[in-house]
Amino acid sequence: MELRRLPNILSLSRLLLAVLFVPAGRGVRVILICVAAATDFLDGWLARRTNATTRWGALVDPIADRIFVLVAIATYVMNGELSLAAALLFLSRDIATALGFFVARAVPALRGVTFKARYPGKIVTVLQLATLLALVFGFQPLAPLIAFVALASAVAIADYTLALWRARAK
């Protein structure tokens, strides 16, 4: 079964990390963010290196990433440590790609388009994880980091949109 392959197990481990994040203290949260970042790098690297890429892996990896980040951000919003506006800016790329995925599945001309991770999106993920670490450590002011994530997200959204538009034309 495809989900039992090591890269997919690493991706799925981020779901457990997300669950553990909510009640964790500062030190454990730092470890969880670092482990999430490591598994995010390692799952893709292993899949490509061992020729173990799967369709499930291509789906599970970004979903696990988004769930981990969403749970972490929601935890900080619920604890009053992050405003809803900052959270929405932080998650803007994730919100846009989720909407884009559903639109692409609803529009017949786009249904055959394959979604793949793109470099600007990977940069956003790295910036999100770095900003989460800054949040854990109480870095202030956080607004410039959130703005940087939002700017990188806008670039990634434009890049994904352009890629989808080009794929549609084929």
- What pLDDT, in 10s, does the model give residues 41-59? 999 899 889 888 887 888 8
Please say if the pLDDT value at position 165 is more than 90. Answer: no
pLDDT above 70 (res 124): yes
pLDDT value of position 58? 81
Distance of CA 166 to the CA centre of its chain: 23
Task: Identify the burial level of 125 via C-beta atoms within 10 angstroms of its C-beta, where 0-12 means exposed, 13-18 middle and 19 or more buried.
Answer: buried
Residue 9, both tokens: 């197990």
Report the residue count for the chain: 170
Q: Phi/psi at 102 (nearest 5 deg)?
A: -65, -35
User: What pLDDT was estimated at residue 157?
Assistant: 94
| Secondary structure E strands in 87-170 | none
The closest alpha carbon to 15, from 3, 1, 26, belongs to 3
Q: What is the pLDDT of residue 108?
A: 80
- Asked if the model's pLDDT at residue 1 lies above 60, the reply is no
The span from the CA of 61 to the CA of 112, in Å, is 20
pLDDT (tens digit per residue) in 53-110: 887 888 889 899 999 999 999 999 999 999 999 999 999 999 998 888 888 788 887 7
pTM score, whole prediction: 0.90
Radius of gyration of the chain, Cα coordinates, nearest whole angstrom: 16
Across the chain, mean pLDDT equals: 90
User: How far, in Å, CA of 86 to CA of 53, rounded?
Assistant: 35
Residue 136: is its pLDDT beyond 90?
Answer: yes
Q: How far apart, in whole angstroms, are the C-alpha atoms of residue 39 and residue 44?
A: 9
What is the model's pLDDT at position 3? Answer: 57
Nearest to 164 by CA among 129, 125, 114: 114
* Type and span of the H or E element at 43: helix 26-49
Q: How far apart are CA 132 and CA 137, in angstroms?
A: 9
Flag whether pLDDT at 114 surpasses 80.
Answer: no
Place of tokens 């980040």: 69
Does residue 130 surpass a pLDDT of 90?
A: yes
Q: Which two tokens stand for residue 57?
A: 């892996």
Task: Assess whether pLDDT exceeds 80 at residue 169.
Answer: no
